[in-house]
């Protein structure tokens, strides 16, 4: 089905736009541009845009209650302070962000980084790793948990090529995870222990070999349905909690990367996208706002203090 879609960042274009996070207090959307090493903020009502430059690639972000960013980057997890600056206009120089390393896994291969990540309903931060050279199809990636005490877990799920698609049901008792590599294209569901933060009973939730696209970033709506960006297909797919595809929403970019609910009523689905280079369309790499006719859930903040 079609839904109203608007392109928001006409003056900005990401190489790999990822990890949109809505901040209600600011009425602003934040996201990451991985290869550009940037965190971007857009105040949606005014169109005011600010960029912060990091010293390494940043793939996913969350916030703690004080507004400090928890970021999954190239060499580990970092606390990032986003200092305000006078320049906010598009095309201005990005502001340098200060970073403090919190934790890092023992990467089992060269050329790895963190990828998709977000907090569970209890405020634990989860993120996975991947080998940046996707052509290598190296299943060295793993999923990690970073708790409020600042402890990084051992790998909780391993043998991932391109970890993606993290999300939790409204009650927090189901966890979702995908692998978006062309060789996998799977979404899994787990029973999730909200007290211990342990996922169990892994099973295939959706196999995107049967649908268009690859399962990239995701969001869960207030009805418990799971929205996944179908990368390479220009679609958002919504699956019911039972794993049934019940909606397909076309979007202008060919490579939608991740989606997140926001807006004053949490009824807007913000979608970041990827610019694939020479084959890109005029829409690829831009940010879009979709009105899908359903509402989302507030993005949980990290429960610890960074």
Please provide the average confidence, as pLDDT, over all residues in the chain.
93
Residue 115, domain extent: 5-290
Q: Do residues 98 and 121 touch, judged by C-beta distance below 8 A?
A: no
Instruction: State the pLDDT at residue 88.
Output: 45
**What does the pLDDT read at residue 11?**
64
Going by C-alpha positions, the residue among 177, 274, 178, 186 that lies closest to residue 233 is 274
Structure confidence at residue 85 (pLDDT): 59
Distance separating alpha carbons of residues 20 and 183, to the nearest angstrom: 26
Q: Is 284 annotated as a binding residue?
A: no
- Number of structural domains (the chain) is 1
Say what the pLDDT of residue 68 is. 95
pTM above 0.85, yes or no: yes
Q: With CA atoms as reference, report the closest residue to 120 among 217, 226, 199, 26.
A: 199
CA–CA gap between residue 171 and residue 194 (Å, rounded)? 9
Q: Is 65 known as a binding-site position?
A: no
Is 113 a known ligand-binding residue?
Answer: yes
* 216 among known catalytic residues: yes
Partners of 163 in beta bridges: 179
Report the pLDDT value the prediction gives residue 91, as an integer from 0 to 100: 54
Does residue 203 lie in a domain region? Answer: yes
Query: Is the residue at 191 inside a domain?
Result: yes
Measured CA to CA, the distance from residue 232 to residue 59 in angstroms comes to 19
Give the pLDDT score at 86. Answer: 45
CA–CA dist 227, 256 (Å, integer): 12
Task: Let me know if residue 42 belongs to a domain.
Answer: yes
Is residue 284 helix, strand or coil? Answer: coil
Give the pLDDT confidence of 49-99 residue by residue, as tens digits.
Answer: 999 999 999 999 999 999 999 999 999 999 999 987 544 444 566 777 889
- 136 falls within a domain: yes
* 126 found inside a domain: yes
115 labeled binding residue: yes
CATH of the domain at 58: 2.120.10.30
Annotated catalytic residue within 216, 221, 246, 284: 216
pLDDT of 280: 75
The per-residue pLDDT for 94 is: 76
- The pLDDT of residue 17 is 92
Per-residue pLDDT of the chain (306 residues; tens, 9 = 90+): 678 888 887 667 888 999 999 999 999 999 999 999 999 999 998 888 999 999 999 999 999 999 999 999 999 999 999 987 544 444 566 777 889 999 999 999 999 999 999 999 999 999 999 999 999 999 999 999 999 999 999 999 999 999 999 999 999 999 999 999 999 999 999 999 999 999 999 999 999 999 999 999 999 999 999 999 999 999 999 999 999 999 999 999 999 999 999 999 999 999 999 998 877 788 889 999 999 999 999 999 999 999
Q: Residue 135: phi, psi to the nearest 5?
A: -65, -25
Structural domain contains residue 296? no
Note whether residue 304 is domain-resident: no
84 annotated binding-site participant: no
Q: Is residue 222 part of a domain?
A: yes
d(CA 199, CA 143): 11
- Phi and psi at residue 134, in whole multiples of 5°? -65, -25
């Amino acid at each position: 089905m079609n839904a109203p879609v608007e392109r928001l960042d006409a003056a900005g274009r990401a190489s790999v736009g990822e990890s949109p996070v809505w901040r209600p207090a600011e009425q602003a959307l934040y996201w990451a541009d991985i290869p550009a090493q940037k965190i971007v903020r857009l105040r949606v009502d005014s169109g005011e845009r600010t960029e912060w430059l990091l010293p390494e690639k940043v793939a996913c972000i969350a916030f703690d209650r004080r507004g400090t960013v928890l970021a999954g980057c190239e060499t580990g997890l970092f606390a990032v302070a986003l200092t305000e600056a006078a320049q906010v206009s598009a095309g201005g120089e990005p502001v340098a962000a200060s970073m403090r390393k919190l934790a890092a896994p023992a990467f089992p291969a060269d050329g790895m980084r963190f990828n998709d990540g977000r907090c569970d309903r209890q405020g634990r931060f989860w993120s996975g790793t991947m080998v940046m050279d996707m052509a290598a199809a190296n299943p060295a990636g793993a999923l990690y948990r970073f708790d409020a005490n600042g402890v990084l877990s051992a790998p909780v799920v391993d043998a991932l090529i391109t970890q993606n698609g993290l999300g939790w049901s409204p009650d927090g008792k189901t966890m979702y995870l995908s692998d978006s590599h062309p060789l996998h294209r799977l979404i899994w569901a787990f029973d999730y222990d909200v007290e211990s933060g342990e996922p169990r009973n892994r099973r295939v939730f959706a196999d995107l070999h049967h649908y268009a696209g690859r399962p990239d970033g995701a969001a869960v709506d207030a009805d418990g349905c799971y929205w996944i960006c179908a990368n390479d297909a220009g679609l958002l797919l919504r699956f019911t909690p039972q794993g049934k595809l019940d909606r397909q929403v076309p979007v202008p970019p060919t490579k939608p990367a991740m989606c997140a609910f926001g807006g004053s009523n949490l009824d807007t689905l913000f979608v970041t996208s990827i610019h694939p280079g020479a084959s890109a369309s005029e829409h690829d790499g831009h940010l879009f706002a979709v009105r899908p006719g359903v509402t989302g859930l507030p993005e949980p903040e990290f429960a610890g203090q960074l």
